[in-house]
Amino acid sequence: MEGVDHLAHERNKSEFDVDAMKIVWAGSPHAFDVSDRISKLVASDPGFRKDNRSTLSRKELFKNTLRKAAYAWKTIVDLRLSEEEAAKLRFYVDEPAFTDLHWGMFIPAIKGQGTEEQQQKWLPLAYKMQIIGCYAQTELGHGSNVQGLETTATFDSQTDEFIIHSPTLTSSKWWPGGLGKVATHAIAYARLIVGGREHGVHGFIVQLRSLEDHSPLLGITVGDIGMKFGNGAYNTMDNGVLQFDHVLDVYSIAFASIAVMLWVSQVTCEGKYKQSDVPRQLVYGTMVYVRQTIVADASCALSRAVCIATRYSAVRRQFGSQNGGPETQVIDYKTQQSRLFPLLASAYAFRFIGEWLKWLYADVTQRLQANDFSTLPEAHACTAGLKSLTTTATADGIEECRKLCGGHGYLCSSGLPELFAVYVPACTYEGDNTVLLLQVARFLMKTVSQLGSRLSSKKPVGTIAYMTRVEHLMQCRCGVQRGFAELSADLVEAAVAHCQLIVVSKFIEKLQQEIPGKGVKQQLEVLCNIYALFLLHKHQGDFLSTGCITPKHAALANDELRSLYSQVRPNAIALVDAFNYTDHYLGSILGCYDGNVYPKLYEAAWKDPLNESVVPDGYHLYIRPLLKQEIRTARL
């Protein structure tokens, strides 16, 4: 039935103020207003239609992405949207595109690591999209091992130029988004060589394509690396390959009288390399920034999947009919709840950890500007670890939501296959999740080695303050220092546990704040308890074997979890409504707001290109000869 809200009875059950929860989710009344306005604007504009992606060929798909990006830019300019509104518009357009890298990495890299001169030259052009940039770090042979990159940037003191060169096949830049077909410029990472001496990997701003006709500049070979996982999905992005053949980085030279380098170091015109007194690790600064945004984004992707699975679980009925009455809603099965509600709790937990990490990043940035580098290692460990934790849990969570939707979850019209295909590379890009956890483990072990050391007067603070209270860490000291590589699989687990502790403690801190709205805080308390107790339940073997809990505690935790699931049940639909997603953004028939799933699924099936004719193309060539046993005459 059109116009009927099939989930109205569920919405009537809720025990809290959904509008107030929407504001908690958005972060503030202002953030809610912007998000609400812009999401509706995108949803109501046919120019941003996205329901046909899985049926387009790669070329059609890509051209359509270019059209949408241009249309989005025109909308931003015509409506004079603020930077915040423009970012929200790109978010709700919901299509991976070269613009993600331009706004998400190229501009932040110049802002975070460029000198003032560099910023003055490039940022105005980039903000107006008169140049389009990408972030070209990874190579065919090396991604994780940044120090292993092979591209060279040799300073020629005769001409005052850098010569950027790809000496081997494996030094070809490989993967950068936007590079394949669109970017006019790149921040390219290369080993700096001055006066025959190497000075490690640095970033360079390099022009790749003509601003007149888009052809590659002299010495540049550039193209797309080919189709990726899934239909549609991330194939809207032109991940690229790039080779430099002794390219002169004239643009770098042109705008700075000395040389274009990141602010961590400079090359003088006499050909001298000068390392400034800021830590060398700041070369990795853009990665810290992007990891933080990826954490903030994880809650969006997970909440989206959870919203679809929750609404559909309330619509779907299987078994349990009594006296001809309706069957049981699958959301009422305890097994469904025990799989779904921890994911709902995770979506909220990741929302708050994303908020906190944003604060931490702003704090470390401010300190860096004042030459205080003391919190950089913690910021690196937090962004790396939380990026790893949240993206792994989100990718797994999206797949679990697909299974929670049974067979219909496997249809593209459920929105879940595409969401998974788009999301899953987040476990790899911006740092492979295991490699990042090893960085956290390294940070933790460094802290352990300093604990109790007579030479170090530093007391752990911030997210590692708890370590002073864990007595047996003192005894761990010697063993771990000797055998990091040997113990790395266990250390990665310790790193995950450390990150989970941060997520739980920041969720608890959030609840200590004033949270207005009838019943809102109580709902969040229930979700926080589910998040923490589910972890305890899942890892009870570890807790029991280390004597942190007794079997009685474990049983109590399990009982409590069951009771918490029952408390969430009447509020489940309202808790996902609080995400305030439009049907356009959700892109899912199973998750549509009114729950009118079956007529929509039926209608969508008939729109598939295969159903354009009753008898399929190929019938006369392949089906009829089979049926008539004339296969020898068929043209194969």
* Pairwise CA distance, residues 523 & 528, whole Å: 9
Cβ contact 393:331 at 8 Å: no
Residues 373-432 that bind ligand FAD (CB under 6 A): 425, 428-432
Q: Are 234 and 96 in contact (CB under 8 A)?
A: yes
% helix, strand, coil for the chain, step of 5 = 60, 10, 30
CA separation for the pair 134, 182 (Å, rounded):
9
409 is in an annotated binding site: no
CB 222 within 8 A of CB 208: yes
Among 48, 98, 135, 312, binds ligand FAD (CB under 6 A): 135
Judged by CB under 6 A, the chain residues 151 through 190 that form the site for ligand FAD are 175-177
User: Are 121 and 110 contacting, i.e. CB atoms less than 8 angstroms apart?
Assistant: no
Angle at 402 between CA 399 and CA 405, to 5 degrees: 155
94 binds, among ligand FAD, ligand LE4PLURH, none (CB under 5 to 8 A by kind): ligand LE4PLURH
List the single partner that 239 binds among ligand FAD, ligand LE4PLURH, none, CB under 5 to 8 Å by kind: ligand FAD
Q: Considering only residues 196-235, where is the footprint of ligand FAD by CB under 6 A?
A: 234
Give the Cβ contact number of residue 629 at 10 Å.
7
- Residue 573 near residue 310, CB atoms below 8 Å: yes
CA angle, 415 as apex, 134 and 565 as ends, to 5°?
A: 110
Residue 422 binding target from ligand FAD, ligand LE4PLURH, none, CB below 5 to 8 Å by type? ligand LE4PLURH
Non-local (6+) Cβ contacts of 141 within 8 A are: 148, 150, 168, 169, 170, 171
284 binds, among ligand LE4PLURH, ligand FAD, none (CB under 5 to 8 A by kind): ligand LE4PLURH
Please pick, among 139, 430, 471, 603, the residue that the annotation labels catalytic. 430
Amino acid in the structure at residue 166 = S
Q: Is 227 or 555 the residue whose CB approaches ligand LE4PLURH more closely?
A: 227
By beta-carbon proximity to ligand LE4PLURH, the closer residue of 76 and 294 is 294
Select the binding partner of residue 315 from ligand LE4PLURH, ligand FAD, none (C-beta < 5 to 8 A, by kind). Answer: none
Name the DSSP letter for residue 213: T
Q: How far, in Å, CA of 562 to CA of 537, rounded?
A: 11
CB of 384 to ligand LE4PLURH, least distance (A): 7
434 binds, among ligand LE4PLURH, ligand FAD, none (CB under 5 to 8 A by kind): ligand FAD
Q: Which does 439 bind (CB under 5 to 8 A by kind): ligand LE4PLURH, ligand FAD, none?
A: ligand LE4PLURH
By beta-carbon proximity to ligand FAD, the closer residue of 185 and 510 is 185
430 is catalytic: yes
Minimum gap (Å) between residue 293 Cβ and ligand FAD = 13
Phi then psi for 131, rounded to 5 degrees? -130, 150
Q: Residue 526: which of 558, 571, 556 has the closest Cα? A: 571
Q: Which is nearer to ligand FAD, 252 or 391 (CB)?
A: 391
177 labelled binding-site residue: yes
Least distance (Å) from ligand FAD to the CB of residue 225? Answer: 10
Minimal distance in Å, beta carbon 291 to ligand LE4PLURH? 8
Where on the chain is the footprint of ligand LE4PLURH (CB under 6 A)? 94, 100, 104, 135, 137-138, 143-147, 177, 281, 284, 287-288, 293-294, 297, 301, 376-377, 380, 418-419, 422-423, 426, 429-431, 435, 439, 442, 446
Enter the tokens of residue 548: 């942190």
CA–CA distances in Å: residue 224 to residues 10, 141, 174, 621: 48, 17, 9, 35
Q: How far is the CB of 141 from ligand FAD (least distance, A)?
A: 8
Residues 85-124 that bind ligand FAD (CB under 6 A): 101
Q: What angle do CA 103, 104, 110 make, to 5 degrees?
A: 75
Q: Which of 64, 434, 449, 468 binds ligand FAD (CB under 6 A)?
A: 434
Q: Which does 345 bind (CB under 5 to 8 A by kind): ligand LE4PLURH, ligand FAD, none?
A: none
Long-range contacts of range 45-54, CB-CB < 8 Å, 24 or more positions apart? 45/75, 47/71, 47/75, 48/72, 48/92, 48/93, 48/584, 50/93, 50/94, 50/95, 50/584, 50/587, 51/587, 53/95, 53/231, 53/232, 53/233, 53/236, 53/418, 54/231, 54/232, 54/412, 54/418
For ligand FAD (CB under 6 A), the number of binding residues is 22
Containing 206, the helix (H) or strand (E) segment is strand 197-207
Cα 359-430-111 angle, rounded to 5 deg: 55
* Alpha-carbon distance values, 627 to 98, 291, 529, 619 (Å): 49, 57, 61, 10
- Of the pair 113, 293, the CB lying nearest ligand LE4PLURH is at 293
Residue 567 binding target from ligand LE4PLURH, ligand FAD, none, CB below 5 to 8 Å by type: none
Query: Contact letters (x/-) for ligand FAD, 234-253, by CB under 6 A?
Result: x----x--------------
State in angstroms the smallest separation of the CB of 523 from ligand LE4PLURH: 25
Integer angstrom CA distances of residue 397 from 305, 337, 495, 545: 8, 14, 20, 27
**Strands 240-244 and 152-156, bridge-based pairing:** unpaired
Q: Does 563 bind ligand FAD (CB under 6 A)?
A: no
Q: Does 285 bind ligand FAD (CB under 6 A)?
A: no
Of 235 and 337, nearer to ligand FAD (C-beta) is: 235
Binds ligand FAD (CB under 6 A): choice among 115, 137, 265, 571: 137
| N residues, the chain | 636
Q: How far is the CB of 426 from ligand FAD (least distance, A)?
A: 8
Q: Determine, following the binding rule CB under 6 A, whether residue 283 of this chain makes contact with ligand FAD.
A: no
Q: Which is nearer to ligand FAD, 496 or 574 (CB)?
A: 496
| Footprint on residues 438-467 left by ligand FAD (CB under 6 A) | 438
Pick out the residues of the known binding site for FAD: 138, 177
Pick out the residues of the known binding site: 138, 177
Could you list the active site residues?
430
Interaction site with ligand FAD (CB under 6 A): 101, 135-138, 142-144, 175-177, 234, 239, 425, 428-432, 434-435, 438
